[in-house]
Structure 1
Amino acid sequence: MKVFKSILIAAAASSIASPVLAETEVVWWDFFAGGDGVRMKALIDQFNEEHPDITINGTTSEWGVPFYTKVRTAAAVGQGPDVVTYHLSRLPRALSEGVLTPITDSDLETAGLSRGDFFERASKAASDEEGTLYAVPFDIHSVVLYYNKSYLEGTEYLDDDGELTGIESLDDFNNALKVAQDNGAQPPLSYQTGGPGGVWRMFYTLLSQQGGAFIENGEVLPGDNFDKAVQAIEIMQGWGDNGYQPENAEYEASVALFTSGKSAFQVNGVWEVPTMIDMEKAGTLGFEWGAVQVPTLLDEEAVWADSHAFAIPIQGDEKMSEEKREAVMTVIGWMEKQAIDWARAGHIPAYTPVAESDEFRQMEPNATYSSLVDIAAYDPRSSIAGVASPVYDAALNNIAPAIHGFLSPEQAAEQMKSELQSLRD
């Protein structure tokens, strides 16, 4: 018995002298696939290696409606994750559902961050109407204009350094498309004309470049915004009439038209930059290329944009412990400071210390189109808007038929307005 007591005392003394480091598990859900998924998995692994006291337990789910439905359902019953990735275009919907918790200044301080560390447009998109922050922006991603230099050699659209120039209006762009077409590009412009994402992003860019608003005070295309929507659709329809864009191209086909060298231009997300770089390194890309901010074709500088962000869901009726919340904010802060690795996926860091670093300023073509952070046009602040929303469905159901000649621009705008009006906030 005395021996047994001695063992217990010795064990207790050992425990006091060498305390066991408590480990906090952070349950993480994201929707990243492809190259984004590989990069995020590497970041999670690196964090776990560097933080023996915090372990990220990551799960990747299907992008879009399935992901957001899963988050909402699980969080409501207290079975959700501790942190999720979120599109800021979906934030108004999340706020209407009450699925996210506010991010306080104290939370940001725990993460080693502050509100002033982020680009203004991203920070605004991450907040409610009163300015309360509900997510921490990780990047700004937008559509950009990719170009194939071979179709523009010897024309006014390449400068002495081989960079795109001379496109400062819709007429300029249409002329460049005609020149590329005459030089053999078939079709000269590629984007996803047969899917909701590509159609909406092109339409919304053209609407925003007119100073138009898709939804105001819960009304869809109020006042002269309707006429601006019609004009945007007319422009896209005109590209179809002139053979400048593909017929009903799904996403993969629209990318292939450009990477195979058939199209001179592509309007697509910055997330395709790694595709171009990888093909170039592998020697499977048969032309020189570049990527720039989508030119201002109409009255105002504007381009469709969104952001990936980090958010903390509700925990059913329970409140997250201080220890867990501190761990979650530690994860978020660390990720923001490693955003240069995420930028290699084509994104622009929303965290300005990284975006303004020498390393990012030397990263091409990201640095060339990084000016878009000041003109980023986020989707309407509405629960019916954002990625994989009714607005995207309406774009596919109404704008896509119009740009292929099956509806007039007026019919498309009217049907879209009517379809969405009943769902308005």
Structure 2
Amino acid sequence: MKTTLRRLALVSTAILSLTGAAAAQQTVVWWDFLAGGDGVRMKALIDAFNQEHQGEIAIEGTTLEWGTPFYTKLQTSAAIGEGPDIATYHLSRMPLAVQSGTLAEITDEDLAGVGLSDDSFTAAAAEAAKVDGVRYGVPFDQHGLILYYNKELLGDAGMLDDNGLPTGLDGMENFEAALAQFTGDGSYGLSMPTGDRYRAVYSFFGQQGGTMFDAAAGGFFPTDADVEKLTTATETMKRWVDNGWTPAQIESPAALALFTSGQAAFFIMGNWEVPTFTDLAAKGEMFEWGAVELPVLFDHQAAWSDSHAFVIPANAGKEADPAKREAVMTVIAWMDEHSLDWAGAGHIPAFNAVRESAEFQALKPQSDYAGFAATAVFDPRTVLAGPAAPLGDAWTNYIVPATTGEIDPADAAVEMRDDLNDQL
């Protein structure tokens, strides 16, 4: 009888142990907007996390359509308490998300619980993750505008140093001389999709120290000097078009092909095209190429940038669950600690320990343009900014046409300012 009781006790203990283990496992519902190569890399990271945390935490991932559909679904789902536990987000849209009540605060204590703080990340991204001093996101990367170049063409022109990096491009006179040098006989100095020129204009605006938005000083482009700086930046791109150094109208696929075929010495675009060129080179279908920060054409280094980040939706009506929050923060910290794999997509890790590691420094060309993370110009802190937001429409409606002569650059700058201020 005693033996039977002992056996029953052991069985009960085992059952309780198994039940406790099952209860301890947390399922973290994850939404992202990452497609293509980004999506493949993120899925690999999720799979690696799940394998490493079996029996403890399981990420249940879903990828939704990028842009307005994603942000709208996240906002409406959070409002009825049906949002995910964690989501990817662009830091440039943070003010709009906070105004709509979509996101929950991520406190210093949340970060400290997984060994993180603001000092763990680039200063630009850490600041962009906050609205009015309150943190609503944890940075994962910085992505921005960079300069791709044809090493063979520049090498033949004596414009590469011993490390294969371009020389003599800083300063408007030098860079425009290079554009002119490589233009002719069906070739161009520069390729860049027409619709993406606003990022270059914003970068050049930032290089002049322009202020796009200041709520206390009157809104968008608050001074005449800021309007003049926007005009100057726009006139720069228009001059390149007028001189034939870059095509007047060219869509993204054609702009890519112009560079990859060797018909353009330079290509200005976001770092997300790095995998495209890497894959082509691996197949022997592309020349030797590199990528660096945008040259300094005005007063100081600056380049358009944004950041993929992790956020926690403010799911209405759901009680706070400390165990769930701990699991979510564990996921965030793990992703940042393993962001070297994400850097393969061309992005710059926002997490300092990874970006400053020897492994990242050996990653080319990423480490050659990583400096933009410290001098990045994010979208201004306004509810009109970010992907799939009114600021993007204003760039498209006024500045992009001004680069092709459809609108006078000075008029375009004033019209953009007035339009955005009317929407505030």
State the 1:419 CA deviation: 1.7
2:267 aligns to what SS in structure 1? strand
Q: Is the 8 A contact 2:50 2:58 kept in 1?
A: yes
Q: Is the 8 A contact 2:159 2:166 kept in 1?
A: yes
AA aligned to 2:285 is T
Q: Deviations over 1:304-358 (max 9, x none)?
A: 1111110101011323311111110011011111011011111111111111111
Q: Deviations over 1:182-227 (max 9, x none)?
A: 4x5623211121x2xx122111101101100111215111211011
In the other structure, the counterpart of 2:412 is: 412
1:152 aligns to what SS in structure 2? helix
In the other structure, the counterpart of 1:242 is: 243
In the other structure, the counterpart of 2:201 is: 203
The within-5 A match list for 1:268-417 is: 268-285=269-286, 287-417=287-417
In the other structure, the counterpart of 2:169 is: 167
The within-5 A match list for 1:110-125 is: 110-125=113-128
The within-5 A match list for 1:68-147 is: 68-130=71-133, 132-147=134-149
Which of these residues, 39, 50, 72, is aligned with residue 52 of structure 2? 50
In structure 2, the gaps of 5 or more residues are none
State the 1:10 CA deviation: 6.1
Q: Is the 8 A contact 2:148 2:267 kept in 1?
A: yes
CA distance in 1, matches of 2:189, 2:17: 72
CA distance in 1, matches of 2:137, 2:164: 40
CA distance in 2, matches of 1:39, 1:14: 39
1:65 paired with 2:63, answer no
Q: Is the 8 A contact 2:198 2:400 kept in 1?
A: no
State the 1:295 CA deviation: 0.7
CA distance in 1, matches of 2:158, 2:299: 23
State the 1:8 CA deviation: 7.0
Which of these residues, 29, 32, 42, is aligned with residue 30 of structure 1? 32
Count of matched residue positions in the alignment of Structure 1 and Structure 2:
415
In structure 1, the gaps of 5 or more residues are none
Q: Is the 8 A contact 1:185 1:264 kept in 2?
A: no
CA distance in 2, matches of 1:215, 1:16: 59
CA distance in 2, matches of 1:159, 1:148: 14
AA aligned to 1:403 is T
* Compared CA separation, residues 20 and 411, structure 1 to 2 (3 A): same
CA distance in 2, matches of 1:73, 1:260: 45
State the 1:259 CA deviation: 1.6
State the 1:77 CA deviation: 0.7
* Compared CA separation, residues 80 and 242, structure 1 to 2 (3 A): same
AA aligned to 1:373 is A
Q: Deviations over 1:360-401 (max 9, x none)?
A: 111111111111122111111111011221111111111121
CA distance in 1, matches of 2:156, 2:352: 38
Q: Is the 8 A contact 2:271 2:347 kept in 1?
A: yes
* Compared CA separation, residues 11 and 156, structure 1 to 2 (3 A): same
AA aligned to 1:49 is Q
| Overall identity of the aligned pairs, in % | 46
AA aligned to 1:281 is A
Which of these residues, 201, 204, 214, is aligned with residue 212 of structure 2? 214
Moved more, 151-160 or 301-310: 151-160
CA distance in 1, matches of 2:142, 2:186: 31
1:146 aligns to what SS in structure 2? strand
Please report the TM-score for the alignment, with normalisation by the length of structure 1. 0.93
Q: Is the 8 A contact 1:142 1:306 kept in 2?
A: yes
- Give the RMSD, CA atoms, in angstroms: 1.9
State the 1:251 CA deviation: 2.3
State the 1:7 CA deviation: 9.2
State the 1:161 CA deviation: 4.4
State the 1:152 CA deviation: 2.4
Please report the TM-score for the alignment, with normalisation by the length of structure 2. 0.94
AA aligned to 2:59 is I
AA aligned to 2:332 is I
State the 1:18 CA deviation: 5.1
2:292 aligns to what SS in structure 1? strand
AA aligned to 1:144 is I
State the 1:9 CA deviation: 5.8
AA aligned to 2:268 is V
CA distance in 1, matches of 2:361, 2:66: 30
* Compared CA separation, residues 38 and 81, structure 1 to 2 (3 A): same
Q: Deviations over 1:254-302 (max 9, x none)?
A: 22221222211111111111111111111111x2211000011011211
Q: Is the 8 A contact 1:186 1:262 kept in 2?
A: yes
CA distance in 2, matches of 1:30, 1:111: 22
CA distance in 1, matches of 2:320, 2:85: 8
Moved more, 14-23 or 358-367: 14-23
Q: Deviations over 1:163-183 (max 9, x none)?
A: 21101111111100001114x
State the 1:155 CA deviation: 2.5
1:422 aligns to what SS in structure 2? helix
AA aligned to 1:292 is V
Q: Is the 8 A contact 1:26 1:56 kept in 2?
A: yes
